[in-house]
Amino acid sequence: MSDNLIISVEPATGEELWRAEKSDVDAIVDRARRAWPAWAAQSLTTRMETVRRFANEVRKENETFAELIARETGKPMWEARTEVEAVVNKVEISIRAYSDRTGQKRLDSALQGTAALRHKPHGVMAVLGPYNFPAHLPNGHIIPALIAGNAVIFKPSEKTPAVGEFLLKCLHKAGLPSAVAQLVVGGPDEGKALVAHRGVDGVLFTGSAQAGIAINKKLATQPGKIVALEMGGNNPLIVWDTPLFLDAASLVIQSAFTTAGQRCSAARRLIVKSSMYDDLMVEVKKLADRIIVGGPMDDPQPFMGPVIDNDAADQLTESFLYLLSNGGKAIKHLVKPQDDLPFLSPSIIDTTKMTDRPDVELFGPLLQVIRVDDFDEAIAEANNTRFGLAASLVGGTPQEYNRFWANIRAGIVNWNRPTNGASSAAPFGGTGLSGNHRPSAFYAADYCAYPVASTELEQPRATVGVGFRDS
């Protein structure tokens, strides 16, 4: 098999879905640089109407698009449909966000002229997308970047390139010039070449902390290049005083196991008040035992599909065994029923007695449980991570939620809601290893255009004062 090919395989079946040759990054960047000025010169109204036509194209293809997402990621059709809906909704949200976050301002003064604030696009933006939401998450960078007047080069994950290709085809059908949004097919080498390319003015990344740190290091000597890093999380969910054990358990299951745990905002650590532990875990395990795991087209529809590939499944299995052999106590074992396909059962392990819990993002259906005795200890345990993306409190009083909100270190802080499922109409980002203080979603406009301050007079007017001899 040629080293120059990227082949996409359906996780649920192991069958080949798509293949293409790797792209010439230099040629694509050169084409984007030549196309960008004409796109930037278009009126904002024209750019907004183009992305609105894109939303209409996606609507026309919604079922075809959802099926492709389901097949390439393994996620159930019901979830793939919600991803397509999010792609469509992102357009109007991004238009509102651009107006709200990058609005023009003028302040007139008869003697000093006009002070103005306007925004300009950066130029050519590289968007590096993940495999878990291969349409929605990169779209959250692409649409704001296009509205602002940038050209976009999109490199999807090598595990989900077919979805990336489909996304750009919808943009081109909407009338966007093909050179203004281009696809790079490739693996890590092509991604590295794109990030480091002198013709790229910004890098918008969604993915693992490891890859994000590598990008940050690579660009440390290039401060002129805008970098927005949306990375992962080791997210805590605290369950405190509440009589509603079944509701609490439902929130735990949604937080930990939606998308087979392959969400950056998924709950990785469940922190439980010791006095509630037994009653809560009975309900959590009951629900986890009822979860249907299956292929994306199965009927009845599963709650969980497979993880992305066998490598991911094997790494998660090794992680579960590591926790088990270092003081963890299995509540629900991680099981891989088929050797050749990456289906995993949801798993739960009590790691309270582990002296050194690994602070890593275990990207799959693996939930660690930690018992604590008081609320201060719960908050301290929740903050016991280098990450800081999402955190949720289930139960507790309004006063305890206020303490939780004030003291927790995360960019998304919820009460009696899951850790995941954040709104695109709010900023999405975190602290620590979860990002570099450039939140996406509604705040994506902030990194897609830069502010320009001007003072302006229609005619030159100036005088000289102190320090000049009389004429």
Same domain, 87 and 71: yes
pLDDT tens-place string over residues 256-309:
999 999 999 999 999 999 999 999 999 999 999 999 999 999 999 999 999 999
Whose structure tokens read 């660690």?
368
Same domain, 179 and 261: no
Is 193 domain-assigned? yes
Is 248 domain-assigned? yes
Report the phi/psi class of residue 441: left, alpha or beta, with left for phi > 0 and alpha for psi in -120 to 50.
Answer: left
Same domain, 315 and 328: yes
* 110 pLDDT higher than 90: no
* pLDDT band for position 107 (cuts 50, 70, 90): confident
pLDDT tens-place string over residues 19-67:
999 999 999 999 999 999 999 999 999 999 999 999 999 999 999 999 9
Q: How far apart are the first and last CA of the chain?
A: 84
Report the phi/psi class of residue 211: left, alpha or beta, with left for phi > 0 and alpha for psi in -120 to 50.
Answer: alpha
Same domain, 42 and 161: yes
CA angle in degrees (0–180, nearest 5) for 96-97-101: 125
> Which among 279, 277, 253, 274 is positioned nearest to 367, based on CA atoms?
253
Same domain, 199 and 127: yes
CATH assignment at residue 319:
3.40.309.10
pLDDT tens-place string over residues 129-184:
999 999 999 999 999 999 999 999 999 999 999 999 999 999 999 999 999 999 99
- CA 156/CA 148 separation, integer angstroms: 21
- CA 339/CA 313 separation, integer angstroms: 10
The pLDDT mean for the chain works out to 96
Same domain, 409 and 443: no
Is 153 domain-assigned? yes
pLDDT tens-place string over residues 294-350:
999 999 999 999 999 999 999 999 999 999 999 999 999 999 999 999 999 999 999
CATH assignment at residue 132:
3.40.605.10
pLDDT tens-place string over residues 196-252:
999 999 999 999 999 999 999 999 999 999 999 999 999 999 999 999 999 999 999
Is 429 domain-assigned? no
Other C-beta atoms lying within 10 Å of the C-beta of residue 463: 4
- CA 170/CA 50 separation, integer angstroms: 11
Is 101 domain-assigned? yes
Same domain, 171 and 280: no
- CA 188/CA 178 separation, integer angstroms: 24
Same domain, 316 and 442: no
Is 470 domain-assigned? no
Is 347 domain-assigned? yes
Same domain, 249 and 105: no
Is 468 domain-assigned? no
Q: What pLDDT is stored for residue 18 in this prediction? A: 98
Higher-pLDDT residue of 172 and 3 is 172
Other C-beta atoms lying within 10 Å of the C-beta of residue 227: 21
Which of the residues are catalytic? Answer: 230, 264
Q: Do strands 226-230 and 267-273 pair parallel, antiparallel, or not at all (unpaired)? A: unpaired
Same domain, 182 and 314: no
pLDDT tens-place string over residues 361-416:
999 999 999 999 999 999 999 999 999 999 999 999 999 999 999 999 999 999 99
Same domain, 247 and 369: yes
- Which domain does 249 fall in, by range? 235-415
Same domain, 138 and 285: no
Number of domains in the chain: 2
* pLDDT band for position 103 (cuts 50, 70, 90): confident
